[in-house]
């Protein structure tokens, strides 16, 4: 492949990566600790820990459904610096995704670089592809209380 084609390919790849994480970033751009909307008939609890956070910065955890995935979380919490990185959401049975990021610069949003997030981030079901994640890539069916929904942060 000649250098011009390599450059064009690299530019397209970067554009796809930035688009994927821009959606993730936008979803977290709301007020810290806000709950976007609550689910009626919530009867199950999903809880876990954010693993890999330094404890020096706030951590944001979001709960997603298929309709608002990477656009508008169903619920979102902020874990203060130094606090136990445990989270808990009340929800109805169904397919759900969880994500988290450590806000290293305190601006309340997941900052993006050329090749992905600049800040540690992750999903409950790990996602490693070089494309925008789809809901089905990171969602899990929840039919009972779940206490081990840990999210591993990756740099």
What is d(CA 124, CA 83) in angstroms, rounded to the nearest whole number? 20
106 CB contacts (<8 Å, ≥6 apart)? 57, 58
Show the tokens assigned to 44: 């199950």
Domain boundaries, the chain: 3-152
CA atoms within 13 A on the CB side of 121: 22
pLDDT, block means (10 residues), the chain with 155 residues: 63 47 45 40 88 96 95 95 97 97 93 84 89 92 96 93
Q: What is the pLDDT of residues 90-107, one digit of tens each?
A: 999 999 999 999 999 999
Residues 66, 135 contacting (CB under 8 angstroms): yes
Query: CB count, 10 Å around CB of 19?
Result: 12
pLDDT at 26: 45
Q: What percentage of the chain exceeds 70 in pLDDT?
A: 74
**DSSP for 58-111?**
EEEEEEE-TTTTTT--SEEEEEPTTS--EEEEEE-SEEEEEEEEEETTSSSS--
- Mean of pLDDT over the chain: 82
Phi/psi class of residue 52: alpha, beta or left (left: φ > 0; alpha: ψ in -120 to 50)? left
């Amino acid at each position: 492949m000649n250098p011009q084609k390599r450059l064009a390919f690299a530019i397209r790849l970067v554009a796809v990566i930035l688009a994927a994480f821009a959606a993730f970033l936008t979803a977290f751009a709301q007020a810290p600790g806000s709950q976007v909307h609550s689910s009626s008939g919530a009867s199950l609890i999903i809880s876990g820990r954010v693993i890999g956070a330094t404890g020096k910065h706030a951590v944001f955890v979001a709960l997603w459904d298929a309709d608002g995935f990477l656009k508008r979380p169903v619920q979102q919490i902020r874990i203060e610096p130094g606090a136990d990185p445990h989270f808990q959401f009340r929800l109805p049975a169904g397919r759900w995704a969880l994500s988290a990021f450590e806000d290293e610069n305190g601006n309340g949003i997941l900052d993006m670089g050329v090749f992905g997030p600049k800040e540690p981030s992750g999903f409950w079901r790990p996602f490693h592809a070089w494309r925008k994640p789809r809901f089905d890539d990171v969602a899990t069916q929840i039919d009972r209380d779940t206490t081990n929904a840990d999210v591993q942060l990756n740099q």
